């Protein structure tokens, strides 16, 4: 499926929003290894959000690679441009 640059940016923004939700849940629930751990519902909620983020990120990567190949551009450069336009925060060690 061919994608436009703007579609890639939209996909990245959705992935970023989902990642923010994962971080929000982690902050809200605390560490899963804390005394008492997470409830079953908290674990399920977090895992669902984490899987959604993982899947969306994988889809973005595949779409960026496809777009770069179709346009004859370097994948890393396209990814950087998409992330910049999407306003993706810099990655941190997590």
Query: Domain residues of the chain, as ranges?
Result: 5-30+38-86
Q: Are 60 and 11 in contact (CB under 8 A)?
A: yes
In the chain (94 residues long), the average pLDDT of successive 10-residue segments reads 89 97 94 87 95 97 97 96 92 56
The structure's pTM equals 0.87
The confidence score (pLDDT) of residue 93 equals: 47
The confidence score (pLDDT) of residue 2 equals: 67
Residues in the chain: 94
Buried b (16+ CB within 10 A) or exposed e, 37-72: ebeeeeeebbeebbebbeebbeebeebbebbbeeee
The confidence score (pLDDT) of residue 76 equals: 96
């Amino acid at each position: 499926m061919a994608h436009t640059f703007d579609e890639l940016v939209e996909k990245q923004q959705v992935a970023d929003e989902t990642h923010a939700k994962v971080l929000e849940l982690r902050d809200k629930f605390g560490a899963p290894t804390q005394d008492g751990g997470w409830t079953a519902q908290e674990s399920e909620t977090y895992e669902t959000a984490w899987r959604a983020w993982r899947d969306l990120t994988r889809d973005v990567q595949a779409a960026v690679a496809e777009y770069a190949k179709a346009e004859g551009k370097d994948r890393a450069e396209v990814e950087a441009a998409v992330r910049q336009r999407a306003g993706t925060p810099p990655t941190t060690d997590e």
